[in-house]
Amino acid sequence: MAAKTPHVRQRGTTFFVRIGVPKELREIVGKSELHESLGGNRREAERRSHAVLARFHGILDEARLKLAQGTDAPPRLSRALDTPSLARHHYQSELDLDAALRDAGAFASSGFDPAVYERIFAPAYMAALREVASGAAPDDKIAATIGWAIDAHARVKLVKAEPGTPEWRAIARTLAGVQIEVMKRTSERNAGEPEAEPAHPALKPDAQPAPAPRERVRILDLLDGYLAELRASGRGAEAEKRWTPGFKAFIKHLGHDDASRLTKADVVAWKDALLATMSPKTVRDTNIAALRAVFQWAVDNDRLKTNPAREVKVRVLKKVQNREKGFTLKEANAILKAARDHKPKPSDNPRTRESVPMTAAKRWVPWLCAHTGARVAEMTQLRKQDVREENGIAFVRIAPEAGSVKTGQYRDAPLHPQLIEMGFLDFVKAAPDGPLFYLDNPDRTGKSHPSKQIAGRLAMWVRALNVVSREVDPNHGWRHRLKTVARELGLDARVIDKIQGHAA
């Protein structure tokens, strides 16, 4: 099937465009014809053909000028130009070439009629130029439409830009706009009318260089850099598990992954979206805090100029508190008795049968937390080697390498004599090496550490006992209770802070 454009041909399944080179120009051009493949899609070939023909005619025009002047190409500049200078150079060069061809009678002698070209080819080429100038054209269409001009200027070192980069696209947009002005002037010349002043901003006498295109900064790259720095200090594993899904959701919400485009308004919009499904405290302490930390790292390391999350606040109202945060004596006794007397329900099904480590956790972790005021997850991550005895004093070492410690620092918590009397050290001695309260799996791929999963299951178990008020955290209640009891007994606050891992 023949294409509508006269110079487009089809050979087999491939379309191509060709024009013959006049005999007198063949020595200058070095070819008897100019041709280029346009692919196998007829509509796409039609679309691309106009820009290709414009480039071919540009080659022939330069050859005609050289023939008429009997000289080589015009003198070349030797340095890259800023945007306004490049625009003016391209504009003037194109118009000078057109004027020289007209003055030398090159159009008349070759039989080339600019008015016919304007009527047949110019409308489609003008539409392609407008698409490029608007920034809507893909890279391949940019190359087909105005790539010839970029390449010509690059050959004489007036521009430096790799195809497909933001710099290259910015240059293409400018040159496309300038080429539209050139076509308007040549149309005025074809009609014998006075030439109007160009309207393109880059061609104005006071035009300033356009700002350099902003370099894309991937949000996930910033997160990776922040986490890498934490890992160098032996930390960051928990942050990676907790923050990565939130950052990916943030990027999905934005519709892009470019931190250089972020504004405070973007972060505020994200906050508002999260508040529709999450508690204000979670949004503040997890999602917004993560963005603020990573973007501040980016600012500190010259990856971003400003931190768009720095001043974003989440208002968290204090909950109405009708009672103390820690367990009452009655609640504590009920939990400890349940722990002491706990026996798993018998089951012949391994999938519903309670594991040995889980049974041990229910038996010992509440007692350990009651006597140390430790976080439940700090106890569920204990390993056999973390239970020690020195100078006749038994203690547990709460170490970051076992799982996680909020402060990032190890601490030792003494074991109360009651725990020893109950047989905790005998339990540890009989336990295999490794974790005491969960099964160790080197190939685990879960989102959280097993010790945290056990801590969560313990909280559910305590709730199911129905002995604790809903206003008290079933895991954190031990920390508050130890602090309260220690204060009532007049114990040194610094000692209790040290045992619990609190800042003095």
pLDDT of residue 421: 93
Point out the residues of the chain with pLDDT beneath 70: 1-7, 29, 47-48, 50-51, 54-55, 57-58, 61-62, 64-80, 106-117, 119-121, 207-214, 319-322, 405-408, 442-447, 503-504
Give the separation between CA 463 and CA 370, rounded to whole angstroms. 17
Q: Which two tokens stand for residue 366?
A: 């509440």
Longest CA–CA span in the chain (Å) reads 114
Residue whose C-alpha is closest to residue 29's, from 69, 83, 65:
65
- Other CB atoms within a 10 A radius of the CB of residue 345 amount to 7
Architecture per CATH, domain 329-500, reads as Orthogonal Bundle (1.10)
Name the β-bridge partners of 412: 397
pLDDT of residue 66: 66
Which residues, including other chains, have CB under 8 Å from residue 260's CB and lie 6 or more apart? 214, 215, 216, 217, 304
Contact 503, 497 (CB under 8 A): yes
Is residue 14 classed as helix, strand or coil in its secondary structure?
Answer: strand
Is residue 238 classed as helix, strand or coil in its secondary structure?
Answer: helix
pLDDT of residue 1: 38
CA contacts within 13 A on the Cβ side of 274:
23
Instruction: Give the tens place of pLDDT for each residue, 65-113.
Output: 666 655 544 444 445 677 788 888 888 888 887 787 777 776 666 666 6
The length of the chain is 504
- Other CB atoms within a 10 A radius of the CB of residue 336 amount to 15
Is residue 388 classed as helix, strand or coil in its secondary structure?
Answer: strand
pLDDT of residue 19: 77
Give the separation between CA 451 and CA 146, rounded to whole angstroms. 61
- Other CB atoms within a 10 A radius of the CB of residue 391 amount to 4
- Other CB atoms within a 10 A radius of the CB of residue 413 amount to 20
Is residue 256 classed as helix, strand or coil in its secondary structure?
Answer: coil
Helix (H) or strand (E) holding 39, with range, is: strand 33-39
pTM listed for this prediction: 0.48
pLDDT of residue 72: 46
Helix (H) or strand (E) holding 396, with range, is: strand 393-398
Q: Which two tokens stand for residue 170?
A: 């910015």
Which residues, including other chains, have CB under 8 Å from residue 394's CB and lie 6 or more apart? 387, 388, 414, 415, 420, 425
pLDDT of residue 77: 43
Give the separation between CA 307 and CA 291, rounded to whole angstroms. 9
Give the separation between CA 56 and CA 47, rounded to whole angstroms. 15
Give CA angle at 188 (186, 193), nearest 5°: 145
Give the separation between CA 332 and CA 339, rounded to whole angstroms. 11
Give the dihedral sign, CA 107/108/114/117. negative
